[in-house]
């Protein structure tokens, strides 16, 4: 089903696709940009995109960005993930940007938002060894001291902190009637004294980190928003985080589908292309249908958010994240199965797509949490 895009949006998609084909269109190019797949972000490529004005797509015009909405952001995310551009830092950067835009001081906005337009990366740190889905269980503390706060504790699974300028830290500054009371967001430079960043090796390469805070001083000017109101501020950004992950994974899913389709059209066994056998043909048909459904869902939710940017679409954004991430994992697994041994070989790239999708149903709110949120919106 063809998507109905304006001429301007169609030109944007074409420009991004052309860029990705030119800069990272071959496995040899991607291997060089990513240290043979171990790194998920290439800063030089990222800065080339910044020079084209793309990284400021969702940054307000007053800070040098394009001031575009969710639909345009999703187009950029899908097309860059489809093109396998190694710019993993962009997702966390945009999530952080939204928090600074809504709640930050003017100085914080100038520093972060203008930096994003120029190609700087931002990180967000919420999870802890004992607090993942249960955000209210956070124990990393920021205690008042003269002129600011002293932060002590450990954070984990912090994406991109090892090359980010700042970490948007969620720490506990107090207690309240609810376990979600007393959380505060801070803008912490990654080179701050008392902060140690240690990488975690994963099947997807080097992209997440443990953060260890030991008497790390942050001044009062580092507080983002209102002290103790961090939970409410986090809830205000849920649309964005879930839609970013949905768009990224839908782009990967479409890439896996197209690569699989090319393979089953060309690969012959028993005297004919394997895609002509009913067992594979029907699986291709099912995946194509599911991809169309996911695209319609993503486009519809993005349009709704653009129409009412201040409204939290808890059900719809969770549905988009759930559908697109689960579908991406399914399509890459199916692609590997249909490609047989070649799907398992690094030469063909399907195994890399699989590795990039399996964690997507865990981070940014697990699929189980998304289902719980959706169920609650129906009064269950």
Residues assigned a catalytic role:
241
Q: How far apart are CA 54 and CA 73, in angstroms?
A: 9
Rounded to the nearest 10 degrees, the angle between the axes of helix 314-339 and helix 367-376 is 140
DSSP state of 87: B
- Alpha helices, H only, 25-69: 27-33, 43-51
Q: How far apart are CA 281 and CA 256, in angstroms?
A: 16
Q: Give the largest CA-CA distance in the chain.
A: 79
DSSP state of 178: S
Among 137, 92, 133, 156, which Cα is nearest to 370's?
133
For Cα atoms 67, 68, 74, give the angle at the middle one, nearest 5 degrees. Answer: 140
The length of the chain, given as a count of residues: 380
For Cα atoms 69, 170, 132, give the angle at the middle one, nearest 5 degrees. Answer: 90
Q: How far apart are CA 158 and CA 360, in angstroms?
A: 14
Strands 148-159 and 223-224: unpaired
291, 254 Cβ separation under 8 angstroms: yes
Q: How far apart are CA 80 and CA 69, in angstroms?
A: 17
Q: How far is CA 118 from CA 121, 145, 162, 168, 184, in A?
A: 9, 34, 18, 19, 28
Count CB neighbours of 31 within 10 A: 14
């Amino acid at each position: 089903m063809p998507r109905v895009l304006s001429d301007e949006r169609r030109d944007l998609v074409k420009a991004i696709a052309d860029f990705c084909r030119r800069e990272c269109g071959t496995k040899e190019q991607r291997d060089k940009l990513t240290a043979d797949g171990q790194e998920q972000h290439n800063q030089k490529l990222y800065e080339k995109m910044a020079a084209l004005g793309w990284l400021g797509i969702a940054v307000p015009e007053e800070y040098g960005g394009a001031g575009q909405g969710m639909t345009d952001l999703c187009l950029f995310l899908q097309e860059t993930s489809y093109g396998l551009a190694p710019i993993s830092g962009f997702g966390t950067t945009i999530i952080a940007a939204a928090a600074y835009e809504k709640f930050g001081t003017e100085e914080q906005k100038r520093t972060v938002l203008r930096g994003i337009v120029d190609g700087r990366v931002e990180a967000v740190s919420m999870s802890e060894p004992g607090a993942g889905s249960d955000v209210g269980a956070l124990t990393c503390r920021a205690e008042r001291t003269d002129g600011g706060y002293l932060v002590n504790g450990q954070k984990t699974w912090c994406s991109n902190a090892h090359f980010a300028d700042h970490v948007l830290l969620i720490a506990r500054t107090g207690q309240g009637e609810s376990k979600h009371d007393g959380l505060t967001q801070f803008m912490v430079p990654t080179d701050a004294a008392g902060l140690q960043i240690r990488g975690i090796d994963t099947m997807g390469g080097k992209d997440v980190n443990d953060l260890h805070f030991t008497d790390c001083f942050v001044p009062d000017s580092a507080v983002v928003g209102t002290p103790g109101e961090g939970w409410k501020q986090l809830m205000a950004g849920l649309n964005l985080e879930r839609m970013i992950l949905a768009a990224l994974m839908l782009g990967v899913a479409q890439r896996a589908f197209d690569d699989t389709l090319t393979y089953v059209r060309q690969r012959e066994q028993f005297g004919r292309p394997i895609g002509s056998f009913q067992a594979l043909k029907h699986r291709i048909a099912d995946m194509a249908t599911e991809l169309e459904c996911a695209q319609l869902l993503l486009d519809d939710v993005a349009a709704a958010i653009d129409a009412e940017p201040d409204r939290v679409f808890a059900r719809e954004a969770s549905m988009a994240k759930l559908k697109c991430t689960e579908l991406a994992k399914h399509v890459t697994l199916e692609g590997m199965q249909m490609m047989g041994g070649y799907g398992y070989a690094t030469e063909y790239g399907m195994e890399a797509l699989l590795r990039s999708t399996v964690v997507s149903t865990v981070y940014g709110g697990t699929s189980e949490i998304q289902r719980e949120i959706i169920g609650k919106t129906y009064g269950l």
